[in-house]
Chain A
Amino acid sequence: DQQVKQNSPSLSVQEGRISILNCDYTNSMFDYFLWYKKYPAEGPTFLISISSIKDKNEDGRFTVFLNKSAKHLSLHIVPSQPGDSAVYFCAARYGGATNKLIFGTGTLLAVQP
């Protein structure tokens, strides 16, 4: 039962253009959503997050949008840079006493120079 889904396994974008990574979820109990970036042979690195009571959060070149009615979130990277090439994981947190995260399967972003 995949509660957090990233339907695009890969995405290729030209340097300087916008990268849009998408994520869908099924559980209404999630109260926080996060994006992590991961390079090979390294652990995930936190990128940006959004609370379920917000619809947008921006941090420099990164913006996350949340559409609760559609149970959909997206990460926008503008402008994209070659150093952004990595696997991006969407994750959601259950509300309540646990801080556990449910991850999607990841999207491999390749930014072409």
Chain B
Amino acid sequence: NAGVMQNPRHLVRRRGQEARLRCSPMKGHSHVYWYRQLPEEGLKFMVYLQKENIIDESGMPKERFSAEFPKEGPSILRIQQVVRGDSAAYFCASSPPLLAGGPNYYNEQFFGPGTRLTVL
């Protein structure tokens, strides 16, 4: 069973260009999460998606960033008009459907290897 796949692993963009990061979840997983890790910091939650639906985008910057998880194909994190401050490692995670909530149940998130974005 293949793990979470992310591509590209490294992406270089010049300021003002667009960056598209792809994430293929593990087989059977219908939930995808995107996190960003800036240098010397921990991972910061960006967005949580199910197929064709955004569940929680509380961590997404208000402008230039968007995410989707279509019915078919990988999840895409798109950054328009990139700036140097967007340089970071972007990690995708996936989990199976949440069957229950509360402190008795945790739906493990499996992380991909990340995409390292460098903006020149």
Q: Does A43 contact B111, Cβ atoms closer than 8 Å?
A: yes
Q: For the complex, what is the distance from the CA of A41 to the CA of B43, rounded to whole Å? A: 14
Interface-central residue, A42, A44, A95, A99, by most chain B CB under 10 Å? A99
The proximity string for B residues 29-66 relative to A, scoring 1 for CB distances below 8 Å and 0 otherwise, is 00101010000111111001000000110110000000
Complex A-B: 16 CB contacts under 8 Å: A34-B106, A41-B114, A43-B93, A43-B111, A45-B111, A46-B110, A51-B106, A53-B104, A97-B55, A98-B48, A98-B55, A99-B95, A100-B59, A101-B33, A105-B41, A106-B42
Chain A contacts for B4, CB-based, 8 A: 43
List residues of chain A with CB under 8 Å of any chain B CB: 4, 6, 31-32, 34, 36, 41-46, 49, 51-53, 89, 91, 93, 95-106
Q: Does B101 contact A43, Cβ atoms closer than 8 Å?
A: no
Q: Does A53 contact B103, Cβ atoms closer than 8 Å?
A: yes
Q: For the complex, what is the distance from the CA of A103 to the CA of B93, rounded to whole Å? A: 14
Of A36, A97, A104, the residue contacting B101 (CB under 8 A) is: A97
Q: For the complex, what is the distance from the CA of A99 to the CA of B30, rounded to whole Å? A: 13
Q: Does A99 contact B33, Cβ atoms closer than 8 Å?
A: yes
Chain B contacts for A43, CB-based, 8 A: 4, 91, 93, 111-114
Interface-central residue, B55, B103, B110, by most chain A CB under 10 Å? B103
Of B43, B48, B58, B113, the residue contacting A99 (CB under 8 A) is: B48
Interface-central residue, A31, A93, A101, A105, by most chain B CB under 10 Å? A101
Q: For the complex, what is the distance from the CA of A101 to the CA of B91, rounded to whole Å? A: 13
Chain A contacts for B95, CB-based, 8 A: 99
Q: Is B120 an interface residue, CB under 8 A from the partner?
A: no
Q: Which residue of A lies closest to B44 (CB)?
A: A103
The proximity string for B residues 66-96 relative to A, scoring 1 for CB distances below 8 Å and 0 otherwise, is 0000000000000000000000000101010
**A46-B108 contact given A98-B48, A100-B45, CB 8 Å threshold:** yes
Q: For the complex, what is the distance from the CA of A97 to the CA of B103, rounded to whole Å? A: 12
Chain A contacts for B33, CB-based, 8 A: 99-101
Q: Does B113 contact A42, Cβ atoms closer than 8 Å?
A: yes
